Structure 1
Amino acid sequence: MHDDMSDAREEMIERQLIARGIVEPRIIDAMRRVPREAFLRWGLREFAYADESLPIEAEQTISQPFIVALMLAIAQLGPNDHVLEIGTGSGYAAAVLAEVVAVVDTIERLPQLAASAYNRLTSLGYDNVSVHVGDGTLGLPARGPFDAILVTASGPVVPPALCAQLKVGGRLVMPVGPNTERQRLCRLVRYGDRTYYQEMLNFVRFVPLIGAQGWGGITEE
């Protein structure tokens, strides 16, 4: 089974990533090292390297490998970066991030998901990732500012709280657009205290970003 998974992972890297323009060596190496099957329940592990999102607990999803790699590439991450991830989910993207940057803080609004992600990340030895429970739309100001922020759920706009927690020169990548339709990946770069540049990139589809500065407009308890 391990050999089968290794073969499937290599095929994913060739067909889903390199063939579609993801060529940065640090990202490719990270995707090669992280066992996506470890972040799925047993019945779905055979599909771990399929080019699709898959269901996890609490009616959430694990993003397809290409989207995880694409968001990292768009964020232009450096090896010494401190990154905030909004929406821990299964913990898979946090593990990939942990292979690419120095420090990862990840925040999840659902305690059930945060606990299972923490257990997976700990068992795999990712000691440079800290898992937090809270409203991701408000970020994690006590741990900021951040070199990059990656948001793995779609909101109507980029939350102002997250913009404020970027370092000058920092990058934020997030799907933005209507809740029930496809969205577009937004890259926002902070150039000064009040100066930001925002561009809209690939079309994507993500679960909604819930919270005080996301869909619903109130902090969920």
Structure 2
Amino acid sequence: MDIEQQRQQMISVIESRGVTDPRVLDAMRSVPREEFVAAVYHDRAYDDCALPAAEGQTISQPYMVASMTELLSLSPTDRVLEIGTGTGYQTAVLSTLAGEVVSIERLPGLAEPAAERLNRLGYTNVEYHVGDGTLGWPDRAPYDAIIVTAGAPSIPDPLYQQLTDGGRLVIPVGDDSLQTLLVVIRRESGPEIHRKWGCRFVRLIGAAGWPDAG
């Protein structure tokens, strides 16, 4: 099976699991996931599973990338904040759908190769930062949407405060063994929280997340 067939098979799996937004599916179809995985995993690039990445991290399962992206309800003019650049795969999907992406990664060993990779592939509407993602990036706030690709012990208040009125935060919240994916919408009356499904991510490390165990 060639790359295009593998990619279409991945899309079919994502659709069968309930992702229906055609813009999200088109974005997933257009991003070459094989560019974002280690060479040793190229033959598994379109498997619907997470794969190991540098620095002890992972590249998320395609279904999870698609479903979290769908929950963001992005429009082409939105400004999105991504917490956890990782290999840049989710970043590329966001770049395809939104007007502007601000991406933060705490590990330079991930952030620098990801920025080089995304620039090489032509994703030019992304601004990169190395830092504590739990604190967001206030200089570019407010954001129409924020996505967190690591598990938090609770909803980080700095991120909620950087949303526009009606802005959406998609974040896994829970403990080490299991988190629940939440959609948090900023309202004048306070956060509107929608609980989605169980998931498991690496820890969100930072001042408003888990402490760094070193």
**SS of aligned partner of 1:23:** coil
The alpha-carbon deviation at position 217 of structure 1 amounts to 7.5
For residues 12-71 of structure 1, the C-alpha deviation after alignment (integer angstroms, 9 at most, x for no partner) is 0012x1111111111011001000000011111110011110001000000000000000
**SS of aligned partner of 2:134:** helix
The alpha-carbon deviation at position 77 of structure 1 amounts to 1.2
Structure 2 equivalent of residue 140 of structure 1? 137
Structure 2 equivalent of residue 20 of structure 1? 17
The alpha-carbon deviation at position 199 of structure 1 amounts to 1.8
Among the aligned pairs, what percent are the same residue?
Answer: 49
Matched to 2:2, the amino acid is D
Separation in structure 2 between the aligned mates of residue 33 and residue 157 of structure 1, nearest angstrom: 34
Does residue 89 in structure 1 map to residue 91 in structure 2? Answer: no
Separation in structure 2 between the aligned mates of residue 216 and residue 45 of structure 1, nearest angstrom: 33
The alpha-carbon deviation at position 152 of structure 1 amounts to 0.1
Separation in structure 1 between the aligned mates of residue 139 and residue 121 of structure 2, nearest angstrom: 26
**SS of aligned partner of 1:120:** helix
Structure 2 equivalent of residue 6 of structure 1? 4
Matched to 1:75, the amino acid is L
Does residue 185 in structure 1 map to residue 185 in structure 2? Answer: no
Q: How many residue pairs were aligned?
A: 214
Separation in structure 1 between the aligned mates of residue 135 and residue 65 of structure 2, nearest angstrom: 22
Structure 1 equivalent of residue 162 of structure 2? 165
The alpha-carbon deviation at position 5 of structure 1 amounts to 1.1
Which runs of no fewer than 5 residues in structure 2 stay unpaired?
none
Separation in structure 2 between the aligned mates of residue 72 and residue 151 of structure 1, nearest angstrom: 11
Does residue 49 in structure 1 map to residue 35 in structure 2? Answer: no
Question: Normalising by the residue count of structure 2, what TM-score does the alignment of the two structures yield?
Answer: 0.97
Separation in structure 2 between the aligned mates of residue 191 and residue 84 of structure 1, nearest angstrom: 18
Separation in structure 1 between the aligned mates of residue 43 and residue 129 of structure 2, nearest angstrom: 30
What is the RMSD of the two structures over their aligned residues, measured on CA atoms? 1.4
Matched to 2:183, the amino acid is R
Q: Which runs of 4+ in 1 moved over 4 A?
A: none
Which runs of no fewer than 5 residues in structure 1 stay unpaired?
none
Separation in structure 2 between the aligned mates of residue 5 and residue 208 of structure 1, nearest angstrom: 32
Matched to 1:10, the amino acid is Q
Matched to 2:57, the amino acid is Q
Question: Normalising by the residue count of structure 1, what TM-score does the alignment of the two structures yield?
Answer: 0.94
Matched to 1:190, the amino acid is R
For residues 76-111 of structure 1, the C-alpha deviation after alignment (integer angstroms, 9 at most, x for no partner) is 111111000000000000000011111001000001
Does residue 156 in structure 1 map to residue 153 in structure 2? Answer: yes
Separation in structure 2 between the aligned mates of residue 127 and residue 78 of structure 1, nearest angstrom: 17
